[in-house]
Structure 1
Amino acid sequence: MSFTCLKSDEKINGRVFPHGTWQPVADPEKNGITPAFRADLDATLDALPTTSFIAISGGETLYTYGDVSEVSYLASTRKSILSMLMGNAVCDGRIDLDLTIGELGIEEDVGLLAIEKSARLRDLLISSSGVYHPAGSPGGDMKDVPARGSKTPGEYFHYNNWDFNVLGAAFEKLTGRSVFAALEEDLALPLQFEDFDRDRQRMLGYNGQSRYLAYHLFLSGRDMARIGLLMARGGTWGDRQIVPAEWVAKSTQIRVPAEAMNGSRKQRVAGYSYLWWIPVVTPETPEWQGAFVAAGHFGQFILGLPMLDMVFVNRRAISDDMAVARNNGTFTDEPATVKMEEFLAVADKFIAARQKVD
């Protein structure tokens, strides 16, 4: 598949889109990035287990920390990217969100209950399938798991990796493409990822626990920033609509409010959408309107702020061996992690610095 490549830092409709290596903001001090601010930010990130961080403003790099080219495990950030990949197939009718998993032929070796088979794909997208068969990979909420058959699909949120893994299988069945092929063709090529390696992407999970394993992704921080910028700009890249604008809007609307998120409720999160976490917006923080977060274990985050045309990415690099061990059940050492509220607090610093200049 071929694509028309952007010229370096080409402007389309007044917006800069990166080509090749990201280009830096010409005058970062206009965004409040003074030497003193940079020193404070460096110290803040030094105190966290962050291995790299990148801030994008107006399609250019405002600040980087660590090696933003390092490719590593995305953990649950993969789920938000799957949501993006589903957009075109939903909008052109290849994926019907009202299809049930029973209609799709989703089954487990021990069998699924009739009530479980009535779960629709849209229920899985908000982690409310009501299917509590053990997941084929870690990463879900393992506390207070409801009894099988006890919840009506679509009515109870429980952050459940079974749902996310089955969504990957459903995507592949309905589109005829693997998640990894779609990642390469729909995002890596048109967005001109700098560090993408198709061979690094892989299925991981427990042996024999479920038929549905996790489609794990391995990307760099600077390529994740391209994903965030695409979403922040309504799915457009240059003069192309990569993800339908309607899907970007629908997939980042609150569908599960914070009070219904049970054990997965997080500070500063107003709710959950189609595999995206939605931050709180207050009258005092209108710049957070339309914001979205992709979040993965250990500290893998993408934050998009469409109102400011800004994107932030945090990485806590995890080796491939550690990722494999975590997913096959031999993982023993839990390294220090970056929490979502810590990541959002770093983004707050950039916003405050920018507002001082404005």
Structure 2
Amino acid sequence: MIKTLLVIIGLTIMPAWAEVWPEPDWPIDNTTFDWQAVDSYAFPQRNASERSGIRTDALLIIRDGRILHERYSAPTTANTAHLTWSVSKSVLATVLGVAQGEGRFLLQDPAARFYPPMQAHPGVHLADLLHWASGLDWQEDYEYAPLKSSVVAMLYTRGRDDMAAYTAARASAEQPGQRFLYSSGDSNVLAAALRGMLDAGTYADYPWQALFTPLGIDSAIWERDGAGTLVGSSYLYLSARDLARIGLLMQRDGRWQGRQLLPASWVAFNRTLFTQAAAIPGEANPGGHWWLNQPLAGSPTPWPDAPTDTYAALGHWGQALYIVPSQKLLIVRYADDRDGSYRHNELLKRVLAALAKEGT
């Protein structure tokens, strides 16, 4: 690495290697890489008669603020606001990070302070919800057990008019904070709690005012339920380039240009392993509403070919935002995977191998 040089201009000391930001759009790095192994994995020929195999809609690779590689499958383009599914959860956590930096809440505040229906569960704190550890009874199954699925009922049937209220009405199954149980309901209670932190009439615009507009994001669409609450679990749409802006904010510890938009302590919380979880082979482990490539005690690293500082926002059917701070690397992948054949580690391994061959 070439060390940062300081250039004295008048009385101002400025770095010769200034950080690169998308102003207004992402700059392109023209370094030549061989992406054949990456593209052959991410973009195999699609089966026109059935939705099987790996079906990547968008792949965007950014290093140190510059686009290295970008590819799309029609009809998705660079301008398409793609459904992010549960990547929405991590973006919700980022919005909450701005609110926390404004002094609107503490992690140990009871959820009921901001969302009164949670008074039935007075021991649930905001940190518990951010760890998907509310202790509320929940079944997060989609295609495999739809009749028993809490999330299907919340999103599509009896819970859709007020998703947070549906979740708050669930019985307690565990003590809060004692066990990880992935729950889109926990995320939607957080989305409802955000409203309780804000002045009347400001909730609908808050994600834009707090996060999207400062980052230059203009593609965002975020659906709300029948009660007007953001569907923080599932229904945010963003272009790949705009989702990467959130990745760059996180990669740079909450800084955006000259502003500390997120407290660095909030990013550290997002990246801290919640140890009350059981490891699932090949799957990342929970942090503060983000997913970490850190091993739980006695278990292997989830993605062994990627650095352990890698973390991600992940969503149904293959949506992903990967952040690798040690490589100053961001990867956005949108997809329409249906059969579970895609592997996070395989894509990360191939991208890192391509980067390692730079200059050879």
- TM-score using structure 1 length: 0.74
Q: Which of 182, 202, 219 is residue 223 of structure 2 equivalent to?
A: 202
- Asked if 1:239 is matched to 2:253, the reply is no
- 1:166–1:337: structure 2 CA closer, same or farther, 3 Å change rule? same
8 Å Cα contact 2:137-2:173 kept in structure 1: no
Q: CA deviation at 1:104?
A: 3.5
- 1:161–1:286: structure 2 CA closer, same or farther, 3 Å change rule? closer
CA distance in 2, matches of 1:132, 1:93: 31
Q: CA deviation at 1:211?
A: 10
Superposed, which structure 2 residues align to 1:2-81 within 5 Å? 14-27=18-31, 29=32, 33-34=33-34, 38-47=35-44, 48-66=54-72, 67-81=77-91
CA distance in 2, matches of 1:307, 1:58: 11
CA distance in 2, matches of 1:296, 1:248: 20
2:107 alignment partner AA: L
Q: CA deviation at 1:121?
A: 1.0
* Alignment match, 2:162: none
1:214 alignment partner AA: V
Q: CA deviation at 1:256?
A: 3.3
Structure 2 residue matching 1:17: 3-state secondary structure: coil
Q: Which of 83, 90, 97 is residue 107 of structure 2 equivalent to?
A: 97
* Alignment match, 1:337: 338
* Alignment match, 1:223: 242
Deviations 1:259-309 (A, max 9, x none): 2x6xxx35152x211110001476x97962432110111121100111111
- Asked if 1:117 is matched to 2:114, the reply is no
Deviations 1:104-152 (A, max 9, x none): 45328xxx74xx23211111110111122755327xxxxxxxx933311
List alignment gaps of at least 5 residues for structure 2.
Answer: 1-14, 45-53, 139-149, 157-169, 296-300
* Alignment match, 2:286: 272
* Alignment match, 2:231: 214
Q: CA deviation at 1:155?
A: 0.6
CA distance in 2, matches of 1:338, 1:77: 19
- TM-score using structure 2 length: 0.74
CA distance in 2, matches of 1:202, 1:241: 28
How many equivalent residue pairs?
300
CA distance in 2, matches of 1:13, 1:184: 31
List alignment gaps of at least 5 residues for structure 1.
Answer: 1-10, 139-146, 317-334
* Alignment match, 2:321: 302
Deviations 1:217-262 (A, max 9, x none): 1111111111111101111121211211111111111123552x6x
Q: CA deviation at 1:354?
A: 2.0
8 Å Cα contact 2:319-2:333 kept in structure 1: yes
8 Å Cα contact 2:254-2:262 kept in structure 1: yes
Q: CA deviation at 1:96?
A: 2.2
Q: Which of 209, 213, 233 is residue 185 of structure 1 equivalent to?
A: 209
CA distance in 1, matches of 2:256, 2:20: 10
Identity %: 25
Q: CA deviation at 1:51?
A: 0.7
CA distance in 1, matches of 2:127, 2:107: 5
Q: Which of 149, 167, 170 is residue 193 of structure 2 equivalent to?
A: 170
Structure 1 residue matching 2:116: 3-state secondary structure: coil
* Alignment match, 1:328: none
- 1:341–1:171: structure 2 CA closer, same or farther, 3 Å change rule? same
